[in-house]
Amino acid sequence: MFEVGWLEKVDDDALVGEIEESSHEEAVASARRLAAIANLTSRRCDKEGVRAHWACDGWDSVAGEVAAAMGVSPKKASSQMTLALALRYRFPKVAILFAHGKVSYRVITAINWHTHLVDNERAMAKIDGALAQRAESWGELSDYKLTTAINYWVNRHDPDAVRRVRVSARSRDLYVGKKDDESETTAIWGRLYATDAAALDRRLMDLVDGVCEDDPRTIAQRRADAMGVLAAGGDRLACTCAHPHCPAAGSDGRASNVVVHVITEAAALDAEPDPHMSGEFSPREHWQPPMPGAALLMGGGDKIVPAPLLAEMIRCGATVREVQIPRGAAESGYRPSAKLEEFIRVRDVTCRFPGCEEPAERCDIDHTIPYPVGPTHPSNLKALCRKHHLLKTFWTGAGGWHEEQLPDGTVVWTAPTGRTYKTLPGSRVFFPRWDTTTAPLPKRTGSVVPLSDRTLMMPKRRRTRAAERSRRIQEERELNAAERAARNKPPPPPTERGIDTSSRDDDDPPPF
């Protein structure tokens, strides 16, 4: 039992002491966890042989086990493995501080990131020693100062390993969505070529200017909606003034050009659009109780669509269709019918491997018991992303993964160590009242025969994971070297008197 009632009875100094002691214990526990991850990864991956060229290699197999054990995504588990191996092999002196709770997890992750490009063992040993002498006092530094302190020693011993900012053209990118986004909206940010940005801005304003003056949305809200129109391939923004004779009324392509699946309960379909979702904020608005029901955006992870927004989508022409739970016998072919496939994806929401967040819309439909021994039946089908489909298919037998699927959609996974993990269909998390139980599987009529040439069917990598990592590090180092050479190129003769502030003695340590 987690008892903290005693904290109510102590003074402030004791509370601060508890915070310090807990932070120390947290660092020690993290170091112990990472040491275990490093040992497991080394045992499984150091001598992979031909499996190192598999698309789903030993690293992926270990990442699956670490993800299941930690209750995190395989991507997060992979980053933990990278950090664990860095502590073990790249900066062992800093790792000793971490094991004794003298540096925080935040400092450790920063050191790992900013020393990633160091590929010389002697330089890495010098950097490790220098950091170990100073890192204990870095916990109070801001992120900027911490980065500066680490980069100082990296620059001193391996200048080409400093992670530099790319030139502007290489920095362009576009991101959609953050974990802390509110339910009804999603953040979009990025960097474009200046010409592309100008074209986008002009196109958005063209769409905004196409609605009538009585549209209740602000200019900013219209621009946001116009971006949705462009994403759907539309050429006009529908007006929301509600006037029957408005020339800009009607559909604007978002409800027909691109299919976006949203699942909900029947009760949520009775909701009404919220008139206060657009326009300027008014202090006269009255609080209204939340409308019952909500929806889940398929392909959007845990993105919730509130009832008023769902009602707005339906008003704009979204099609409503009931998802049927298959009640009949198993289907005869290998590929499920469109209705059966739809049910599996809606029931599962995401990949069914422990911790995986890949949307079911981008997953394969996998037979838990391989076809044809295992029928094409809802109690034998589940969504698996391509990576975990390969893991389940090729990393079987002794030391591999095994799974059992229950009629309610629960999948029980058995790891190579024998530990078991359960994953529930995503729909049961968001819609617990929806019973997705289907009929039990019919009795088997045969046994699964292992494929003797199974490994020949595994997709192969062009380079091993280690070779690809070395290639990327070398490319980034070469870019850094070219940038450093250009920066250190002697300047042209001065045409007028001025003050040179560009020089600095690299032997001067940072002021912290």
pLDDT at 40: 96
Q: Of the candidates 184, 176, 431, which has an alpha carbon nearest to the alpha carbon of residue 312?
A: 184
How far apart are alpha carbons 167 and 158 in whole angstroms? 21
pLDDT at 181: 64
The structural domains of the chain, with segments of one domain joined by +, span 5-163, 166-258, 262-315, 338-450
What does DSSP assign to residue 94? H
| pLDDT level of residue 281 (50, 70, 90 thresholds) | low
Most confident of 66-70, 173-177, 371-375: 66-70
Per-residue model confidence as pLDDT tens digits over 395-448: 866 568 899 999 999 999 999 899 999 999 988 888 888 888 999 988 776 666
Average pLDDT, the chain: 83
HSE-CB for 469 with a 13 A CA cutoff: 8
Residue 292 has pLDDT above 70, yes or no: no
- Among 70-74, 134-138, 211-215, 252-256, the range scoring the smallest mean pLDDT is 252-256
Residues whose CB is less than 8 angstroms from the CB of residue 100 and which lie 6 or more positions away in sequence, other chains included: 28
How far apart are alpha carbons 364 and 358 in whole angstroms? 11
In the numeric block, which tokens belong to residue 153? 């020693």
Question: 261 or 281, which is more confident?
Answer: 261
Q: Which phi and psi (to 5°) does residue 421 adopt?
A: -140, 135
In the numeric block, which tokens belong to residue 418? 């024998």
pLDDT at 464: 92
Most confident of 44-53, 252-261, 283-292, 309-318: 44-53
| pLDDT level of residue 275 (50, 70, 90 thresholds) | low
CB 26 within 8 A of CB 102: no
In the numeric block, which tokens belong to residue 30? 């993290």
How far apart are alpha carbons 399 and 65 in whole angstroms? 12
Q: What is the pTM of this model?
A: 0.76
CB 185 within 8 A of CB 159: no
Over residues 177-197, the mean pLDDT reads 73
Per-residue model confidence as pLDDT tens digits over 306-357: 667 777 666 666 777 778 888 778 898 999 999 999 999 999 999 999 999 8
Per-residue model confidence as pLDDT tens digits over 129-162: 999 999 999 988 999 999 999 999 999 999 999 8
326-330 contacts, C-beta under 8 A, 24 or more apart: 326/378, 326/438, 327/438, 327/439, 329/377, 329/442, 330/375, 330/376, 330/377, 330/380, 330/442
Residue 49 has pLDDT above 50, yes or no: yes
Residue 258 has pLDDT above 60, yes or no: no
* Other C-beta atoms lying within 10 Å of the C-beta of residue 188: 13
Question: 464 or 235, which is more confident?
Answer: 464
How far apart are alpha carbons 158 and 231 in whole angstroms? 45
pLDDT at 238: 85
Kindly report the length of the chain. 512
Straight-line distance from the first to the last Cα atom of the chain, in angstroms, rounded to the nearest whole number: 43
Residue 93 has pLDDT above 60, yes or no: yes
Question: 482 or 62, which is more confident?
Answer: 62
DSSP 3-state of 470:
helix
Largest CA distance in the chain: 92
As a whole-number percent, the residues of the chain with pLDDT over 70 amount to: 78
CA 438 to the chain's CA centroid: 31
Residues whose CB is less than 8 angstroms from the CB of residue 204 and which lie 6 or more positions away in sequence, other chains included: 223, 226, 227, 230
* Other C-beta atoms lying within 10 Å of the C-beta of residue 286: 5
| pLDDT level of residue 1 (50, 70, 90 thresholds) | very low
pLDDT at 345: 92
Over residues 234-257, the mean pLDDT reads 78
pLDDT at 116: 93
pLDDT at 74: 93
pLDDT at 155: 93
- Among 23-32, 187-196, 210-219, the range scoring the smallest mean pLDDT is 187-196
In the numeric block, which tokens belong to residue 104? 């925080």
Over residues 30-34, the mean pLDDT reads 97
* Other C-beta atoms lying within 10 Å of the C-beta of residue 454: 12
How far apart are alpha carbons 116 and 280 in whole angstroms? 48
Over residues 93-122, the mean pLDDT reads 95
Query: Looking up tokens 């408005």, which residue turns up?
Result: 246
Q: Of the candidates 28, 27, 57, which has an alpha carbon nearest to the alpha carbon of residue 45?
A: 57
Residue 172 has pLDDT above 90, yes or no: no
Over residues 2-11, the mean pLDDT reads 73
Residue 503 has pLDDT above 80, yes or no: no
Q: Of the candidates 305, 244, 227, 303, which has an alpha carbon nearest to the alpha carbon of residue 273?
A: 305
Over residues 121-131, the mean pLDDT reads 96
pLDDT at 33: 97
How far apart are alpha carbons 49 and 147 in whole angstroms? 38
pLDDT at 434: 84
